[in-house]
């Protein structure tokens, strides 16, 4: 990255929590217009923060608008993502707070996301979705699976489900919190490319382990504990995976549901994720809407040199 005298302000927030130093950390880098960064520079900055995601926030073209819009780019340490949940909730909380607005829109590579402040909930986002259940599951020859026989069996049988094209999760249901606590990083990742449906490649794919604390079929509210464990890292909160899991379960049950998902407990960063899913029964259980909600709290501010 070339050395210049420019500096860009950044803020870090902890998302899906109201308690600093819990939840999932997020960095937001505010960009001037025109954007001074190349794609390669954004990737280097995301690597420098070394968080699960970093957001690059473009200025609102009309911040005085009743419903202002902001364009955002979402990067992991390795790639740009079309959509991710905790960057959406965290950025929405940040920009709506700065603008003093109750409603706004985030423009992502996956589409426009209406966001609003909801009392007692935090921020709620209308998540873009194009759900797809892949036709295959993993085979026994895959590397990177658990050494625990019960967990491995669940991994091999778990569905692969996309919330949008390019964001796919292996949804691994476990029977108990005890078994959820035994999930470990293996150092290797399965080769998901061999099992994804051809027209849905390439895609980010990750493993999402969960335990149903209740099925919610009585009152329509479901409580879940989850973990998102990669080959070399664990994520404290994964909003896109929570949306994928919620959409998958609501579709299977053919009923609109509310989900309360707690993640990050095992790594000491408890996160509380809310998802509401509408199901169109007349459309053979098709998903009619997905809303992601949660809180965020600012932790650090500073500037970076570019």
Could you give the residue numbers annotated as active site?
A: 53
Q: How many alpha carbons fall within 13 Å on the CB side of residue 155? A: 28
Using an 8 Å Cβ cutoff, are 55 and 93 in contact?
Answer: no
Place of tokens 């209308």: 126
Give 205's strand partners.
168
Q: Which of 235, 209, 210, 229 is nearest to 26 (CA)?
A: 235
Q: HSE-up of 275 (CA within 13 Å, CB side)?
A: 30
């Amino acid at each position: 990255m070339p050395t210049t005298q420019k500096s860009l302000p950044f803020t870090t927030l902890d998302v899906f929590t109201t308690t600093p130093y819990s939840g999932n950390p997020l960095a937001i880098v505010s960009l001037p217009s025109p954007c001074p960064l190349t794609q390669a520079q954004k990737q280097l900055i995301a690597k420098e923060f070394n968080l699960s995601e970093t957001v690059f926030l473009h200025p609102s073209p009309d911040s005085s608008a009743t419903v202002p819009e902001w364009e955002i780019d979402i990067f992991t340490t390795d790639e740009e993502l079309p959509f991710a949940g905790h960057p959406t909730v965290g950025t929405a909380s940040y920009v709506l707070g700065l603008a003093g607005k109750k409603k706004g829109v985030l423009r992502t590579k996956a589409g426009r996301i209406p966001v609003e402040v909801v009392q007692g909930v935090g921020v709620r986002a209308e998540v873009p979705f194009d759900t797809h259940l892949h036709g295959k599951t993993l085979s026994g020859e895959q590397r990177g699976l658990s050494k625990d026989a019960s967990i491995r069996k669940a991994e091999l049988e778990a569905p692969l489900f996309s919330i949008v094209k390019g964001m796919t999760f292996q949804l691994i249901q476990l029977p108990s919190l005890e078994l959820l606590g035994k999930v470990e990083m293996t150092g290797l990742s399965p080769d998901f490319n061999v099992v994804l449906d051809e027209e849905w490649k390439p895609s980010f794919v990750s493993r999402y382990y969960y335990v149903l604390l209740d099925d919610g079929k009585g009152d329509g509210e479901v409580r879940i504990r989850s973990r998102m464990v990669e080959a070399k890292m664990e994520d404290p909160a994964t909003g896109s995976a929570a949306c994928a899991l919620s959409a998958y379960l609501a579709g299977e049950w053919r009923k609109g549901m509310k989900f309360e998902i707690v993640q990050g407990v095992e790594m000491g960063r408890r996160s509380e994720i809310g998802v509401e899913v509408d199901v169109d029964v007349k459309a053979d259980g098709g998903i009619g809407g997905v809303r992601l909600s949660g809180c965020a709290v600012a932790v650090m501010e500073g500037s970076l040199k570019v």
